[in-house]
Each structure stands twice: as C-alpha cells, then as structure tokens.
C-alpha cells in the first residue's frame, strides 16, 4: 500500500470540518484536531488521522456522545475525579489536565483521574500541556483489553500507554510509550500495508506467535483470545513480566482510582467505551530551585547524546528528539498518509456530505 504526502494545514482543515460535521463546536473541533495533527506531525501515524475511522464508528454506535460534557464528581485542593460522560476523549482529557495544572500552580501538585471517557489520542499531548507550563507532566490511559498477561493467551490488559514530559534545553524530555510491545494502531497500520508482524509482537488464539496483522486486528475486535504481548515480549526471558506489571500499574492510576471500568470491561458494556485516564502535574520547585533542576536535566540529556556510540551507530537520541525532527520535516514536506486511510476518510466525508477534494 502506498503513501502520499499532504499539506498539514489542509489535513487540519479537513479534520476540523469532519468534526464540525458531527455537530462539535468550532472550538471543540479545533481541540480534537490539534491532538490528531500533533500525532501525525510527530510521526506517530497510528494515532493521527488514521484514527478518524475509530471516532466515526464510535459516534455512529453511540459510544461517543457529541453533545455531552464531562462532569466533576469529586474535588480536593490537589485532586479531581471526572466522569467523562461518554464525551470525546480529547475534550475530556484537556479539561482534566487543565484542572491538574491549575492545582499544581497553587499547591505544587495536581492530579486528575477520569472514568467513562473515550480514546484520547497520544498520551504525550497531555503531559506536554504541563511541560509547556513549566511543570512536570504525566499522562496515562487504559484501553480496551488487547494485551495478554505473561504466560496467558487471553486479552486482559490494554496497551495502557504512559507519557512523562519535563522541561529541558534545547529539547524537552518527552517519553510517550505503550506498556505493550506495540500499540494496536501500529498493528492496524501493518495490516493496511500487508506487512508481516515481527516475531514477538503478538500471539494468535492458540497463544503462539502470530505474523498476520489482520488476524490480530480481527481477534482484538471480535474475541478475547490471543492479542498483543506486553513490553518485553513473551514469557520472562526478555522481561515481559515487567511490561505486564507496568500495564497493571497504569490500570491502578486510571480505572481503579477513578472507579471506572478496567481494560477487560472497556467496550464490552453495550454502547459505552468506558475508557479511564490519569493525569498529574508537578511543580518541581517543590524540591529545589526550578532553574537548577531544569539545568541538571538538560545537562544529563546532553551527556546521554554525547555518550559512546555502539558500532554502526553515530547518534543517541533522547526521548522527544525524533518527534521534534519529524515535526519540522512534516511542516515542510507534508504528512505521509496511507492510501487505505484516505479511503476511510473518503467514506467519512461521503457520510457527512463533505467534498473531500475541496481540502486535499
């Protein structure tokens, strides 16, 4: 399957038009689109406009309610519990992280947990909201269960990503990772390209290694058997049990604390997604001089970049560097989008009576 590059401003305008077509306000359409375009601009294809089809299906079946708004159900000076009320995940999450940031600026720390929400895009978008405000940001979410526990062959854990962002110069530290070997979105991209999965990414219904991406997509959509492996892979040899543990830890900071649905119940409760999120914002001035702490982080990251390189490699990246460079490339040369994704966007535009050719 081939790719073509599209001007990011035109893709942004089309995405906004799509969400306005569903009935979202101008402001809300811009917020949702900003999260999606940020993903594509950072080179994270799995969570960019490739996800438009997920939201299209979610809105049509009632998992996402366009006019619903999140509701605060419990609040303290340092914490807040939010019921997403089946609203769009990006809108719920931006509101929740804004509350965490607001509290951190007053008390030094703010935490928000969310239940009854939907897919929120890339975790790094929300941790960076705090980083841009001079705070340490943490973002995580559970997802529908698509990951098998160590020594298991049943999907029981989500890909449960976590992101940590910290101000630094010249590039902030931005860790954004799933606690599984790979995200389901990336499996979907492999399927669209008819590429075999690398060994150690997923197992079939029999619990054995599976190379067919479309088989895994089918299983994660229609069964609780097989699925994606936790970070570290199968068994304990390469520490798959650690990825498994991290996935459960994310569950603790999302569904358990919020009183929401655990991953094994997400999207299996009628027309409810039931996704849970967790957000933290920390004023690291609690621990000393902020300038010195940021300088220490910056110096350490630079030492990492300059450390000895393995044979055949001339560069060591710190987390966030590749995303910043991808952003500059896509700003200049456009966003590469798979032909299959373009077909999905065309289906959505036809449904909403939008002339896609006016935009791309």
Give per-residue pLDDT as tens, 135-159.
999 999 999 999 999 999 999 999 9
Q: What is the pLDDT of residue 270?
A: 67
Count of all residues that appear for the chain in the document: 360
Q: What is the pLDDT of residue 269?
A: 63
205: left (phi over 0), alpha (psi -120 to 50) or beta: alpha
Q: What is the pLDDT of residue 1?
A: 62
- 168, with CB counted inside 10 A (0-12, 13-18, 19+), is buried
Encode 294-317: b = buried (16+ Cβ within 10 Å), e = exposed: beebbeebeeeeeeeeeeeeeeee
Give per-residue pLDDT as tens, 38-76.
999 999 999 999 999 999 999 999 999 999 999 999 999
Q: Can you give the residue ranges of every domain in the chain?
A: 70-288
Q: What is the pLDDT of residue 333?
A: 98
Distance CA 295, CA 64 (A): 43
Per-residue 3-state assignment (H helix, E strand, C coil) for the chain: CCEEEECHHHHHHHHHHHHHHHCCCHHHHHHHHHHHHHHHHCCCHHHCHHHHHHHHHHHHHCCCCCCCCCEEEEECCCEEEEECCCCCHHHHHHHHHHHHHHHHHHHCEEEEEEEEECCCCCHHHHHHHHHCCCCEEEEEECCCCCECCCCCCECCECCCCEEEEECCCCCCEEEEECCECCCHHHHHHHHHCCCCCCCCCEECCCCCECCCHHHHHHHHHHCCECEECECCCCCCCCCHHHHHHHHHHHHHHHHHHHCCCCHHHCCCECCECCEEEEEEEECHHHHCCHHHHHHHHHHHHHHHHHCCCCCCCCCCCCCCHHHHHHHHHHHHHCEEEEHHHHHHHHHHHHHHCCCHHHCC
Q: Compute φ and ψ for 86, nearest 5 degrees.
A: 65, 15
Give per-residue pLDDT as tens, 320-344.
999 999 999 999 999 999 999 999 9
Q: What is the pLDDT of residue 271?
A: 77
**CATH class held by domain 70-288:** alpha beta
Residues of the chain with pLDDT under 50: none
């Amino acid at each position: 399957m081939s790719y073509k590059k599209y001007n990011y401003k035109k893709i942004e305008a089309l995405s906004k038009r799509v969400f306005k077509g569903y009935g979202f306000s101008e402001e809300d359409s811009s917020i949702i689109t900003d999260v999606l375009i940020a993903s594509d601009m950072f080179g994270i294809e799995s969570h960019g406009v490739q996800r438009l089809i997920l939201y299209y299906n979610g809105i049509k079946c009632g998992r996402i309610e366009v006019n619903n708004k999140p509701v605060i159900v419990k609040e303290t000076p340092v914490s807040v519990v939010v019921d997403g009320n089946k609203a769009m995940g990006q809108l719920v999450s931006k509101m929740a992280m804004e509350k965490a940031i607001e509290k951190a600026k007053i008390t030094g720390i703010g935490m928000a947990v969310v239940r009854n929400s939907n897919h929120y895009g890339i975790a790094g978008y929300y941790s960076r909201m705090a980083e841009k405000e001079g705070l340490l940001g943490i973002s995580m979410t559970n997802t529908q269960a698509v990951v098998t526990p160590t020594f298991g062959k049943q999907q029981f854990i989500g890909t449960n990503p976590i992101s940590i962002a910290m101000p630094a110069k010249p590039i902030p530290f931005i860790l954004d990772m799933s606690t599984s070997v790979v995200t389901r979105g990336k499996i979907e991209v492999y399927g669209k390209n008819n590429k075999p999965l690398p060994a150690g990414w997923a197992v079939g219904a029999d619990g054995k290694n599976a190379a067919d991406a479309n088989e895994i997509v089918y299983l994660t959509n229609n069964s609780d058997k097989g699925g994606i492996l936790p970070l570290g892979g199968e068994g304990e040899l390469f520490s798959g049990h650690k990825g498994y543990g991290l996935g459960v830890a994310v569950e603790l900071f999302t569904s358990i604390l919020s009183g929401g649905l655990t991953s094994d119940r997400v999207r299996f409760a009628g027309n409810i997604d039931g996704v849970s999120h967790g957000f933290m914002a920390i004023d690291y001035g609690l621990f000393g001089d902020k300038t010195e702490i940021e300088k220490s982080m910056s110096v350490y990251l630079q030492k990492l970049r300059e450390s000895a390189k393995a044979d055949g490699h001339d560069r060591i990246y710190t987390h966030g560097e590749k995303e910043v460079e991808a952003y500059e490339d896509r700003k200049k040369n456009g966003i590469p989008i798979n032909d299959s994704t373009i077909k999905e966007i065309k289906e959505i535009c036809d449904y909403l009576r939008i002339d896609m050719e006016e935009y791309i």
